[in-house]
Every structure is written in C-alpha cells, then in structure tokens.
Amino acid sequence: MPTETFEFQVEARQLLQLMIHSVYSNKDVFLRELVSNASDALDKLRLAALKDDLPGADVSDLHIEIETDDEARTLTVRDNGIGMSYDEVGRLIGTIANSGTAQFAKELREAQDEGGAEGLIGQFGVGFYSGFMVADEMTLVTRHAGEGHGTRWSSRGEGTYTLETVEDAPQGTSVTLHLKPADSDDQLHDYTSAWTIKDIVKRYSDFITWPIRLLPKKTADGTEGADEAEPETLNSMKALWARSREEVSDDEYHELYKHISHDWREPLETIRLQAEGTFEYQALLFVPSHAPHDLYTQGYKRGVQLYVKRVFIMDDCEALLPPYLRFVKGVVDAADLSLNVSREILQQDRHIRMMQRRLTKKILSTVKDMMTSAPDRYATFWREFGSVLKEGLLSDTDNRDALLAVASFASTHADGEPTTLAGYVERMKDGQEDIYYLTGETRESIENSPHMEAFRAKGIEVLLLTDPVDEVWVDVVGEFDGKRLRSVAKGEVDLGTEDDTRADEEREKQGEEYAALLGWMKEQLGADIKEVRLSSRLTVSPACIVSDADDLTPALENMYRAMGQ
Ligand code: ADP
Ligand code: MG
C-alpha cells in the first residue's frame, strides 16, 4: 500500500496547536503519557494471552524500552505489547479518542479563554499528542500482536499525518520523537540525557508494573559504550496498592491517580483498604479534586480498575461502586476471581457485591472523617460531588443514614455557611418540631420567596435546596432524627408560638370581616385554585400561592411531566 496522507480532525488540530505552542508548563509529562500507553498495551496483551485470544503473540519478555540518540536528536519509547492494526492507528491516533465532539471544542475554547487549557490534556484521552510539546516530528511504528505486517504513522503535528504499511515491524509499538532544539525554550530539558530520562521515569512512572529499561547509548562508531552496555531498569515496579502506607509517599499515590484517571491535578483524598480473610482484596481509591465535565452524561465511564493478583483485567469496572460514587477512581486487586470474568458476570457475583458494600462504607466513612479533620477539604468535596452523592439517598437505603450524616445544605442560619442536618436540629427553637426547607432554582430566588417571610420574621431556620435531586430525596427520606422534613411552601405551617394563638383568634375575626373579598377572589380564580384564605405566613407580600401538604411542588410537577408521568 502506498503512503497515504490524512488530515487531522478539527479538534485534533486545535489540540495540536495548543501542544506546539506549549500551553503546558511542565513538558516532562509527555514521557509519562507515552510510558502509560506502553504499559496499557502490555496489560492488554497479557490479558489477551491469558484468555488465549492471541495464539501467535510473544509474551516472553514484556517490557518498555527507552532509547535516545544524541546525534539524530531522537527519543524512542518502545513496547512489545499488543500493538495496533492499520485501521486502529487511523482511528486511535488520527482522532481524539474520547471526544470528536462539540463538547471538546467548546471546552477547549473556554479553557483557552481562561488560560487553563492544559487541564484538557489527558481528560480527553489525548496523551499521545503531548509528544508534540517537545518534538517537531513524531513517528510511530506498530504491529498488532495478532497480525503479520505493521503500520507506520508519521506527523509533524501540523495539519496532516501519513500512514503506510510496513512489512517487518516487531510486535508492539515504538514511538520516536524528533526533539525540538533544546535552546528554543527554557523549559525544554535535554531529553537525550540519560540523567533526565531516569529522573522523569522515577518521578512519574515508578509504579508501572512492567520494567522500563533505558538502553545504553551507541557510541559514535556505532558500537555500544563499554561502561554502560547493559540496559538499565529504571522503575521499582511495585504495585502501590500492595505496599504498606508507610512505604509509599503521597507523590507516588498521586502519580498513580494521574495515570489511571487521566486527571492532571492532585486527588482530593486517597483511600486504602486491605481486606483479609476468605476473600482477599486490596483497594486504592481516589476522590478527585474536581468533578469531571461529563459526570452527568450517559457516556460517562464510571468505575475503578480491576486487577486479579496484579494482572490488569479491566478499566471502568462499574460493579464495584454504586452509581452515586461514580466519580471515585482507583484500583481494586482481588486474589480470587477468574481472569475471564465479564462485566455481566461481575454484576451478579456475590463477592463483587460484598466488595461494593465494603468499599461504599469505607468511602462514606472517609468523608465523615474529613468533615471533622479537614473541613476545607470536605467543603470542596461537597461542592464538587454533593449533588451526585444525594442520588444515593434515593437508591441506597442501607447507607441512607451515613449519607445524611455527610450531607450539608445552604441554610438561612448564617450566610454562605452550609449546615448539616444535625447542625440544624441543634439550633431548632423550643417547640419547633419539624425541619423546614424550601426548594428552588437558586438561593436568591428561594430567599425572595414570599413563603420565607414568616420564617424570617420569626427567626426560624430554613434549608435552601437548589439541586434538582433535592425535590425528590426530601420526599423519599421524609425525616431526620425523628423530625419531619417539611417544605415551607406546602400546607398550613404552624409555627406554634403564643403569638400565633392570638393571631389565630384575630384571623378568625378577620376572616369574617374579609369573607366577601375572599369569596369574590375564589369566584374569579375559579377552578385554578382550591381555596383562598387569610394567612399569617406573609409579612410583606400581599399574597402567595401555597400547595396542599401532599401536593407536588411546582418543580416536582415539572419533573414528573418531563419524565412523561
Ligand atoms: P488514552 O491513552 O487516554 O486512550 P492516548 O492519546 O494516550 O489516549 O492514546 C490513544 C489511543 O492510542 C490509546 O487508547 C490506545 O488505544 C492507542 N495507543 C497509544 N499508544 C499505544 C501503544 N504504545 N500501544 C498500543 N496502542 C496505543
Ligand atoms: Mg494515554
């Protein structure tokens, strides 16, 4: 087949521009991305071989190799993993794997406006392109482990790339970067230097479970240098989740998080769990510091990585965490599962369900601890993930109390300071029996609601609930600590003070006085309403609409209508 030239997708081109004009200040991470891809390819090959999916594959010495050439100014990262077919190269390397969508272009523009575009690297599965931060040309030669011939891909990172078939390529993938001149940019290290490579690998990729070897440099006459003739393994290859807490630095945990989550920021929280006994497993879970942009979309890939005795089995194992914890990333390594487990089997598996329960409890108890030991971190957590967690109030009755205990809400009690339900109960007035809330779209619209007037006048605290899910869980949950959750917009609200008893008598008198007016209003409004009555709940507004206690609120009515019910 002749060499074919292709154009990059629009989004890919935008991204390349971004890379070339180096928005990302830390350019060293390109090596992490390439090593991470190589490691994934080795994981995939080993798993395929264990399942006998690729009979012809060579799995005898799986490893990653790095080679540099001073004279040609190149750096090569090579693996003997699963490789890619011609079609795969076009599909995976020519496009942006997880996006190709308007969403990506939109975020890219927004991020550029805010000067934070580097965050998108990785989030969209664009790790490979980061090579263009340091290279003016990238060449990839690959052969899929199940195929006889290979493919060569090459690009200068501008508008196009070329693809051609090559006859004799070794199994796996090698990526060669032609390095930009080192002096063109202060931040560009000399990536042909062994010292630099060792330093970067140690920093970012130490935990990779495959050997990463640095090949000895060739001397000028083509023979290998005498004193560094042996390839040197640069990483310790220790699975972090199998090591004790004391042995592992926070930085090492964070690098693993970045490797598996494609996030470039530090995680908010690292959670370790070692389960012993009849069903042994180890888990290393991370709570990100930011909710991903697609957390509420259908296509969101939830779940953690599943390993069985250090062998990578799958990404995004959904069965290990409930949907309302879908933002949690990490690794679970089980001692006693078949390597052939499918997603369908996992959903049914008793042990998996046991693990899910245990991991859920562990995550919730970690959040609980965070509330007292690190209130700022908890505040970030709740801001980013609170509305997802509240979905659990509907679906996970077993953990309802634990979820209510870590939930916090905007409230009228102290401006801006969210409160827990327990906090609310503590501040309840003598004689107050219920927990009051009002739902609405924004805090402001709730605060301006006429329903709030009487509560404000009497100094009774009201929770201000603005998430769509709030409408639903307050109904389903119904009460906290024996106190009913009551909307201030529903039914007669008895604020139960002496003043009210007097007010009631007065209102009765006034009722007679205003009977004619109320009758006339009822007649005018007709079937749209049930009744017109005098109220003590208003202090400033002349009138407001109130639902019956068991009626749907307007927002809930809208939601059910939207759901077609
Ligand atoms: P991501 O790793 O997030 O998917 P990348 O841009 O790093 O995004 O890589 C895109 C895809 O290209 C990978 O998902 C993988 O399918 C393929 N790929 C990249 N490098 C290799 C490699 N060394 N071996 C096999 N496939 C690779
Ligand atoms: Mg990658």
104-146 pLDDT, tens digit each: 556 666 766 665 655 555 455 457 888 998 999 999 999 999 9
Q: Which of 250-264, 343-357, 462-476 has the highest mean pLDDT?
A: 462-476
pLDDT in tens, 508-559: 777 777 788 778 888 888 777 777 777 766 666 777 777 765 565 565 565 5
Q: What pLDDT is stored for residue 13 in this prediction? A: 80
Q: Three-state DSSP class for 31?
A: helix
Q: What pLDDT is stored for residue 121 in this prediction? A: 55
pLDDT of 200 higher than 80 = yes
pLDDT of 252 higher than 60 = yes
More confident residue, 446 or 223: 446
More confident residue, 203 or 380: 380
Residue 313 to residues 37, 61, 286, 333, 352, Cα–Cα distance (Å): 16, 19, 19, 9, 14
More confident residue, 326 or 454: 326
Q: Provide the annotated binding site for ATP.
A: 33, 37, 79, 84, 99-100, 123-128, 173, 343
Ion ligand 2 residues within 5 Å by Cβ: 37, 127
Which ligand sits closest to the CA of 131? 1
Q: What pLDDT is stored for residue 269 in this prediction? A: 97
* Helical segments of 325-374, H only: 343-348, 350-373
- Per-residue confidence at 26, pLDDT binned at 50, 70, 90? confident
**Which atom of ligand 1 is closest in space to residue 173's alpha carbon?**
23
ipTM for the whole predicted complex goes beyond 0.85: yes
Give the binding-site residues of ligand 1, using a 6 Å CB cut-off: 33, 37-38, 41, 79, 81-84, 92-93, 97, 125-128, 173, 262
Q: Retrieve residue 467's tokens.
A: 């998430």
Distance CA 84, CA 95 (A): 14
More confident residue, 543 or 25: 543
Q: Name the residue of 42, 92, 147 whose CB sits within 8 Å of the most ligand 1 atoms, as the mutation to test its pocket.
A: 92
Q: What pLDDT is stored for residue 504 in this prediction? A: 64
Q: Quick check: 272 and 284 in contact, CB under 8 A?
A: yes
- Per-residue confidence at 414, pLDDT binned at 50, 70, 90? confident
Q: Name the residue of 18, 29, 40, 91 whose CB sits within 8 Å of the most ligand 1 atoms, as the mutation to test its pocket.
A: 40
pLDDT in tens, 334-373: 988 877 777 777 888 888 999 999 999 999 999 999 999 9
Compute φ and ψ for 422, nearest 5 degrees: -60, -40
Q: What pLDDT is stored for residue 500 in this prediction? A: 54
pLDDT of 296 higher than 80 = yes
Tracing tokens 């609980």 back to the chain, one arrives at 368
For residue 454, how far is its CA from the centre of ligand 1 (angstroms)?
Answer: 61
Angle at 513 between CA 507 and CA 514, to 5 degrees: 85
Distance CA 178, CA 136 (A): 6
Strand order in the sheet with 269-275: 269-275, 281-287, 329-334, 304-308, 311-317
Q: What pLDDT is stored for residue 345 in this prediction? A: 79
Q: Name the residue of 37, 40, 144, 210 whose CB sits within 8 Å of the most ligand 1 atoms, as the mutation to test its pocket.
A: 37
**Which atom of ligand 1 is closest in space to residue 262's alpha carbon?**
3
